[in-house]
Structure 1
Amino acid sequence: MFKLLIADDEARIRKGLKNSLNWSDMNIEIVGEAEDGEIALKIIEDKKPDIILIDICMPFLNGLDLIEKIKSSVSNSIIIIISGYDEFSYAQRALKLRVFDYILKPVDSKMLEGVILRATKELNKFQEKRNYLEWTNKHLEENSSALKQSFLNNWLSGKLTHEQLIDELDFFNINIGKDVGLIVIKVVERLALGVAIKSWDKKMLNFAIINIACEVLNKPEPILTFTDDDGNIVVIMNIDQNKSWHNVGALIEEKIYDYLHYTAIVDQKKVSNILTVRDCYISLINDINKKTQYKPVVLLVMKYICKNYCVNDLNLEKVSKEFNVSSSYLSKLLKQQIGMSFIDYVTSVRINKAMCIMEDPTVKIYEVAELVGYSNQHYFCKAFKKIMGFPPTEFRGGISN
């Protein structure tokens, strides 16, 4: 039922209004009477009536002032003024306050009935609209995950224009900053390494991997996590000066194996422009797809190097013994599959890690060298220039400019 408040300083007027119509037949319940504006205000705040019959001239707080006070808190309430003042100034102010109707005393019951019927018709429209909005919001909430998944796949498959991308990000309330980290995770189930693997439902496995990624990133919820059409798990996040960003891929791989006994290939890149996220994603997918064609021992050696690149005496013989293969066989295999010798691959990993570290201006060049496994700054600078074509100081200068 709709709730009705009668506010008038005269008791006989209030009684007359109560008895003038069969309110229950009109699906209306009288929830309160008020003899002055302050009492009316308290009832309105407590009961939130749908229809308010209000006199202009009341003690303490007159009707028009009361309407101004309550307009924002009961925006969907219908306010009907009942007044003995047939003056244009009152009617004009009532119109500005957007009251539903203005009835002069003495009140004609037929006229009142007509106004109330129009009011209930309007309230029914409000209710239908509210019900529809609640239904759409519930439907949207229930399907939010699927809608977001569809948006992300459309984005990374190049189906969205720049304007559509911005609109969709705004719709899903996704805020992407200047420095964006993109991580792609692919599970390689054929690499069990002799450990009994639990048979996981694909959705549950992906859910577990996303939780592991969030744990490593130390963020309860990155900007976006989803699974693309090829089953790759994609994480998009704001880096926010995360100094450990360059190590997160190796940590995610390690924890996936430790917790789930699955081997995963994880690649990551940082981008500084939202428009290049798709190109970065394609590049990562291509790199990962190449790696899935490598022999298991090559993948394991690459993981080992990515984890131990900071060890100063990392060498071919040591790694060969770790995987129980001859150094000549491993050297030949690396050259065949990744197109680099062992030392060249180690150097490339170290230089890439060094460039990530150098984004932090507080870390000195000699400290960078030590962090990536070089015993002295001179040897590091020589290796850096050989790969990049310029010294690390020039690279750092380019970042700051």
Structure 2
Amino acid sequence: MGELKVLLVDDEYLIRNLMKMRIDWGKQGMTIIGEASNAVEALQFVDEHKPDIIFTDIYMPSIDGIEFSERVLKRYPDIKIVVVTGHDEFEYARKSIKLGITDFILKPIHASELLHVTDKLRQIINEERTRGQELEKLKEELKQNFPYLKEKFLYHWLNGTLLREEIHEKAAYFGVPLGVGAEALQIAAIEISPASTKQTEEQLILLRMECAKKIEAFFRENPLVIIFTDTRNQIILVHQNPDANLAAAYEVLITNLTESGGCTVSVGIGQKHENIEEANLGYQEACRALYYQAFIGKNQVICFEDIIENGNQQYQSNATLLHQLQFCLSVGSAEQVVEVLREIFSMSFSSVSQFRLAAMDVFRECQRAAIEQQIEDEPHFNETLISILTADHLPELTGALKSYVLNVAMAIYSKKQTKEGNLISQVKEYLKNNISNPEMGLASTAAAFFVSPGHLGRLMKKETGQTFVEYLTNIRMKKAETLLKRTDLKGYEIGEQVGITDPHYFSILFKKNLGRSMNEYRSSRNDV
């Protein structure tokens, strides 16, 4: 912060001069840039030079200090004003604080009081400017993050986490057009996929960006269409006051997007809802309809009402149970998977179509778990799809789905077992090759294999029946026993070769594990 600019306003020259001489203004980080003998002159000076601080007398001709201060603060609220007053004017001056005047000084003016006030002013201005700079930085960050925050609001809205007032308030802030008076809406979800599987991640991102621009251009004439991308990389469109030709419009859009042959496009459309609080239902319906492409193929418009037998029947996913199912699958727990599956289907279904929607939710979680665990040949994939599409009664569908879920869980469990077994085999080899390292322990070994010590410890116990320390001690003692049999190395030398550098501790450990001291062991060998 540079020097602060000070203006002195008083109709008495001696008072102004006294204030200039009382303190070293430069040491206070201030410089007096001007003086004025009356308020009119001072107002003109303020407009031209914008001082940081003004010291003003109360009683001046024409316009007094209080009115002068009020005019200045109205135009320049950041200027700090200090009123200079006598004891008889004190009560009058104190009222000026309500106007926003920073402080006042009593006459006669003492250097100590003036220094106290200037220190206070410098601190106030410095804090305000620091806050101002921080606020500008925050505003710049807000500007940069505005598109992300806008999409975050839209995502929360469509997931049903906002109240009606919050939706309108945030929509106004982010410039999202919400129709006033007519709030009926219908939501579409679009999935863009490359026509070729050989595209890089960058090419896929560019493809989606190109398609998003074409979609925006397609609906540009309709100001009440909200477009954004959700966390699944689906392009979501919220149509307000939708017309009956919405599905037909998307048929045309698919043709436009796929005419180059570089991508496939699938569109899911939810049912029409009458108010903005039901947007989450429309979003869920659009996503479930979109998922139905697995049954009918790509480049299709799928309306949610077409995949249920009764358009008035509503089905809502149980996110908590689906999350539990996905977790149980990921750890390969077949028993828990069956229990969660039983809970999911314990609700009453009014039709096979509703059950199929629930089955698709489960099917999706199985696919997600298989992908995350890198199960390349997902078991019974096609058979389960056919069962979901063709089953005429619930027991048949339930049996097929349960069999499929169990197969996925067991495939994941089998892979994890193989992976864990391979890891322990590698750890055993590592311990064998580094047995002479006295620093080797659970933490360092876990770090070498990029796993947590707790996880490695549990796997060692599971695979060997011993704790890590027990296993390591055991192989060290076996190595020591071999060296005693085959070499004439001294005890401390053997200890060093098996990673135990303290001879006393090594002797105790050897006797504890083999039942004899090293001398006794060696003597018995010689006797033989």
**TM-score of the aligned structures, taking structure 1 as reference length:** 0.62
Bigger RCO (CA 8 Å, 6+ sep): 1
CA separation of 1:264 and 1:42: change in aligned 2, threshold 3 A: farther
Which residue does the alignment assign to 2:421? Answer: none
- 1:108 — aligned with what? 110
The 2-side partners of 1:260 and 1:20 are apart by 84
Superposed counterparts of 1:2-401, under 5 Å: 2-84=4-86, 86-88=88-90, 90-158=92-160, 160-162=161-163, 166=167, 169=171, 172=174, 174=176, 176-177=178-179, 178-180=183-185, 182-190=187-195, 201-218=203-220, 224-236=226-238, 238=240, 248-258=249-259, 261-268=262-269, 270-295=272-297, 299=299
**C-alpha distance in structure 2 between counterparts of 1:253 and 1:286, whole Å:** 19
CA offsets, 1:306-358, max 9 Å, x none? xxxxxxxxxxxxxxxxxxxxxxxxxxxxxxx99xxxxxxxxxxxxxxxxxxxx
Shift of the 50–181 alpha-carbon distance from structure 1 to 2, 3 Å rule, reads farther
Q: Secondary structure at the match of 1:16?
A: helix
Which consecutive residues of structure 1, in runs of 5 or more, have no partner in the other structure? 303-336, 339-401
Cα 1:294/1:51, change in 2 over 3 Å: same
SS in structure 1 at match of 2:267: strand
The Cα of 1:147 is off from its aligned counterpart by 3.6
Provide the secondary structure at the position in 1 that maps to 2:17.
Answer: helix
Structure 1 residue 103 displacement after superposition: 1.6
1:83-105 Cα distance to aligned partner (Å, 9 max, x none)? 34722552243132132222233
Q: What amino acid is aligned across from residue 237 of structure 2 in structure 1?
A: V
- Secondary structure (helix, strand or coil) at the match of 2:291 reads helix
User: How many angstroms does 1:293 deviate by?
Assistant: 3.4
Residue 14 of structure 2 aligns to which amino acid in structure 1?
A: R
**C-alpha distance in structure 1 between counterparts of 2:38 and 2:218, whole Å:** 63
> Within 1, Cα distance between the matches of 2:300 and 2:250?
14
* Contact map agreement 2:156 2:162 (CA 8 A) in 1: no
Q: Measured at CA, do residues 256 and 61 of structure 1 come closer, stay the same or move farther in structure 2, by a change above 3 Å?
A: farther
Change in Cα spacing, 1:209 to 1:19, as seen in structure 2 (3 Å) is farther
The answer on whether the counterparts of 2:192 and 2:208 sit within 8 Å (CA) in structure 1 is: no
Q: CA deviation at 1:72?
A: 3.5
Q: Distance in 2 between matches of 1:245 and 1:295?
A: 20
Deviation at 1:216, TM superposition (A): 1.9
Contact 2:186 2:282 in 1 (8 A): no
Q: Deviations over 1:218-272 (max 9, x none)?
A: 2698775332222211133655x98986764344333323578433223445543
1:205 CA displacement: 2.9
2:236 partner amino acid: V
Q: Report the Cα distance in structure 2 between the residues aligned to 1:37 and 1:230, rounded to whole angstroms.
A: 66
Name 1:393's counterpart in structure 2.
none
Deviates more, 1:196-205 or 1:27-36: 196-205
Identical counterparts, % of pairs: 24
1:300 Cα deviation from its structure 2 partner: 6.5
1:352 is matched with which residue? Answer: none
Pairs aligned (count): 299
Query: Using the alignment, how far apart are the partners of 1:77 and 1:244 within structure 2?
Result: 62
Contact 2:192–2:265, Cα closer than 8 Å, also in 1: yes
CA deviation after TM superposition for structure 1 residue 301, in Å: 10
Pair member with larger Rg: 2
Which piece of structure 1 moves more, 196-205 or 16-25? 196-205
Q: Is the contact made by 1:197 and 1:261 (CA closer than 8 Å) also made in structure 2? A: no
The one-letter amino acid of 1:182's match is I
Letter paired with 1:249: Y
Q: Where does residue 322 of structure 2 map in the other structure?
A: none
SS in 2 for 1:61: coil
- Measured in 2, the distance between the counterparts of 1:27 and 1:289 equals 68
- Aligned equivalents of 1:223 and 1:16: distance in 2? 70
TM-score by length of 2: 0.48
Alpha carbons of 1:295 and 1:203: their partners in 2 closer, same or farther (altered >3 Å)? Answer: closer
- Paired residue for 1:326? none
* Contact 1:214–1:221 (8 Å) recurs in 2: no
With over 3 angstroms needed to count, the CA separation of the structure-2 counterparts of 1:274 and 1:88, relative to structure 1, is: same
Please tell me the residue identity of whatever aligns with 2:296: Y
Tell me the distance in 1 between the aligned counterparts of 2:275 and 2:162.
Answer: 15
The SS at the match of 1:140 is helix
Residues 222, 119 of structure 1: CA spacing in aligned structure 2 closer, same or farther, 3 A cutoff?
A: farther
Using the alignment, how far apart are the partners of 1:242 and 1:138 within structure 2? 40
Q: After TM superposition, give the deviation of residue 277 of structure 1 in Å.
A: 0.7
Distance change (3 Å), C-alpha of 1:300 and 1:267: closer
CA contact (8 A) 1:86 1:104 kept: no
- The answer on whether the counterparts of 1:209 and 1:256 sit within 8 Å (CA) in structure 2 is yes
RMSD between superposed Cα atoms in Å: 3.9
DSSP 3-state at the match of 2:6? strand
Q: Contact between 2:191 and 2:266, CA under 8 Å: does it hold in 1? A: yes
Distance in 2 between the 1:6 and 1:183 partners?
68
Q: Deviations over 1:278-307 (max 9, x none)?
A: 1101111111221353245xx4699xxxxx
Letter in 1 for 2:100: R
